[in-house]
Amino acid sequence: MLDIRFVRENPDVVKENIKKKFQDHKLPLVDEVIELDSQRRAAIVEADNLRSERNKLSKQVGMLMGQAKKDPSKLAEAEEVKAKVKADADRLAELEALEKELDEKVRRIMLSIPNIIDPSVPIGESDEFNVEVERFGEPVTPAYEIPYHTAIMESLSGVDMDSAGRVSGNGFYYLMGDIARLHSGVLAYARDFMIDKGFTYCIPPFMIHGNVVEGVMSQTEMDAMMYKIEGEDLYLIGTSEHSMIGKFIDQIIPEAQLPQTLTSYSPCFRKEKGAHGIEERGVYRIHQFEKQEMVVVCKPEDSMAWYEKMWRYSVELFRSLEIPVRQLECCSGDLADLKVKSCDIEAWSPRQQKYFEVCSCSNLGDAQARRLKMRVKGEDGKLYLPHTLNNTVVAPPRMLIAFLENHLQADGSVTIPEALRPYVGGKEKLVPTK
């Protein structure tokens, strides 16, 4: 969310940014919110003047009532002033109600105006305009056929989609045996990987209040993703970033405690509305999965350096598991409204002979901090808004698709990279049971 003063002083910049994000339907909101803000500020000024006048008149009434004891002619004058005080009180009540109403209207519009994107972001209307920046590792397509990922899992007796469908419906799964162990091993490996990078491990709440949801994401994202607990002000998290950033709501953080570098485990719950292609079935796009996340809260001047570090951590982790990846810079139209800059890390799929998303790294500037009223107290005692960033460390079972495809052998076995072996009981490979 932008600062209303910035919008007021830079309307053309805000409108140009909206155009870059191909959200022209939001252009009228800029003039509308500036007008509402003008009315709000006028109401505040008038109310402040009335409060000041009320204090003076109240003293005057007291003085006149005292004089009326000696001079009855002063009583009529006192009553006139009391009537003025009553009229001002009525007007003040109107202004306070108007101010509250205008505050809410301004806030609602400001929540929907997108954040100012970084100048380095490529301009494009959709993810088709995302730009490949760099590749890491040589993508290999073996001479033998790579089956669909659920077929690989089934050959290892590692997945049961049918039973999950009967129990929970589409978009759910049972992971079994070696695949379940591999799933847990990858998460444990990712946890230790981030701890070794100096991040603090955290297991956060898996449900959060509505004001936290509103603080960490746009209304569009919220409607498309979040499951609400019926009858309660609680939502199931779509990613642990939601509760990790929410941890700092209404808090003042001493500057000496920055940066906050946290890595968190959680299950994630998502509606995943809409139709999806064949390659997004199986365990690729699902309603429930687990994830290791990284979150950073830092000084504004440090956020771009952290952004660079964070996506490179993802690359390093996937390369340590011998999976080729690439970095893809997200274009303006593919950025969620709160994001300043974002990139995806995509893993190579030998089966599809193309890359697919496994991590997403984002710099949100001070947008979440402003929404959540997070502040930092500098050494000079002044308060300022920190920047927040998040990035996927690893998100199985989607990551398992890349893992299985890239480590599948001609005989149907799956090799385990050396780095991961301690987390799967020392196994060097998984052998088909079917």
Instruction: Indicate if 205 and 71 belong to the same structural domain.
Output: no
Which residues neighbour 226 within 8 Å (Cβ) at sequence distance 6 or greater?
213, 235, 236, 238, 271
**CA-wise closest residue to 352 among 139, 128, 132:** 139
Instruction: Indicate if 42 and 164 belong to the same structural domain.
Output: no
**CA-wise closest residue to 239 among 221, 259, 252, 261:** 221
**CA-wise closest residue to 186 among 105, 280, 282, 289:** 289
Instruction: Indicate if 302 and 196 belong to the same structural domain.
Output: yes
Which residues neighbour 309 within 8 Å (Cβ) at sequence distance 6 or greater?
none
Instruction: Indicate if 106 and 140 belong to the same structural domain.
Output: no
Instruction: Indicate if 189 and 311 belong to the same structural domain.
Output: yes
Q: Of 65, 81, 112, which closes a domain?
A: 112
Instruction: Indicate if 140 and 19 belong to the same structural domain.
Output: no
186: helix, strand or coil: helix
**Confidence band (pLDDT; 50, 70, 90) for 276?**
very low
Indicate whether 120 belongs to any domain: no
**CA-wise closest residue to 310 among 205, 230, 199, 384:** 199
Torsion angle of the four alpha carbons 378, 7, 360, 211, in this order, in degrees rounded to the nearest 10: 70
Q: Which residues pair with 268 in a beta bridge?
A: 289
Indicate whether 121 belongs to any domain: no
Instruction: Indicate if 143 and 224 belong to the same structural domain.
Output: yes
**Confidence band (pLDDT; 50, 70, 90) for 57?**
low
Instruction: Indicate if 68 and 141 belong to the same structural domain.
Output: no
- Residue 209: domain span: 127-430
Instruction: Indicate if 249 and 288 belong to the same structural domain.
Output: yes
Indicate whether 119 belongs to any domain: no
Q: Of 64, 89, 112, which closes a domain?
A: 112
Cβ-based burial of 33 (10 A; exposed 0-12, middle 13-18, buried ≥19): buried
Instruction: Indicate if 48 and 149 belong to the same structural domain.
Output: no
Here the CATH number for the domain that contains residue 62 is 1.10.287.40
Q: How far apart are CA 201 and CA 191, in angstroms?
A: 7
Locate the DSSP E strands across 167-251: 174-175, 200-202, 207-208, 227-228, 235-236
267: helix, strand or coil: strand
Say what the pLDDT of residue 431 is. Answer: 95
The two beta strands, 252-254 and 375-377, are parallel
Pick the more confident residue, 330 or 57. Answer: 330
Indicate whether 118 belongs to any domain: no
Indicate whether 117 belongs to any domain: no
Instruction: Indicate if 42 and 145 belong to the same structural domain.
Output: no
Tally the residues of the chain.
434
Task: Give the tens place of pLDDT for each residue, 107-150.
Answer: 999 999 999 999 999 999 999 999 999 999 999 999 999 999 99
Instruction: Indicate if 387 and 256 belong to the same structural domain.
Output: yes
Location of structure tokens 């509305």: 273
Task: Give the tens place of pLDDT for each residue, 326-366.
Answer: 999 999 999 999 999 999 999 999 999 999 999 999 999 99
